[in-house]
Amino acid sequence: MLVELQLVEQRHQAVLEVFAGVSITQVALRYGVTRQTVHRWLRRYAALGLAGLADASSRPASCPHQMPPEIEARIITLRVEHPEWGPQTLKHELGEEDSTPLPAYSSIYRCLLRHGLITPEPRKRKRSDFRRWERTRSMELWQMDVMGGVRLTDGTELKVITGIDDHSRFCVSAKLVPRATARPVCEALAQALRRYGVPDQMLTDNGKVFTGRFGPGKGEVLFDRICRENGIRHLPTAPRSPTTTGKVERFHKTVRLEFLKDRVFASIAEAQHELDEWVERYNTRRPHQGIGMAAPLDRFVLAVPELVDDPLAPPAVPPDLPPGRTVTRVVGRNGRISLATFPYHVGAWLAGQTVEVVFRNDALIEIFHRGVLVKAHARRHPKDAPPPVRGHYMSRSKPLSPEPAPGGTLMRMVDPTGCVSFAGKSYRMGKAFKGLQVEVRLEKDTVELWLDGERIRTHKATHDPSKLYGAFANPGGRPRKQKAS
Count CA atoms closer than 13 A to 257's CA, side-chain side: 12
Whole-angstrom distance, CA of residue 336 vs CA of residue 330: 9
The better pLDDT of the pair 367, 2 is held by 367
**For the segment 410-443, what is each residue's pLDDT rounded down to a tens digit?**
788 888 888 888 777 888 888 778 888 888 888 7
Whole-angstrom distance, CA of residue 388 vs CA of residue 356: 13
What is the phi-psi region of residue 53: left when phi exceeds 0, alpha when psi lies from -120 to 50, beta otherwise? Answer: alpha
pLDDT beyond 60 at 400: no
Whole-angstrom distance, CA of residue 366 vs CA of residue 373: 7
Residue 390's pLDDT is what?
A: 38
Task: List Cβ neighbours of 150 (8 Å cut-off, separation of 6 or more).
Answer: 157, 158, 159, 160, 176, 260, 265, 271
**For the segment 96-145, what is each residue's pLDDT rounded down to a tens digit?**
888 778 888 889 999 999 888 888 777 666 666 666 678 888 889 999 99
Mean pLDDT of the chain: 81
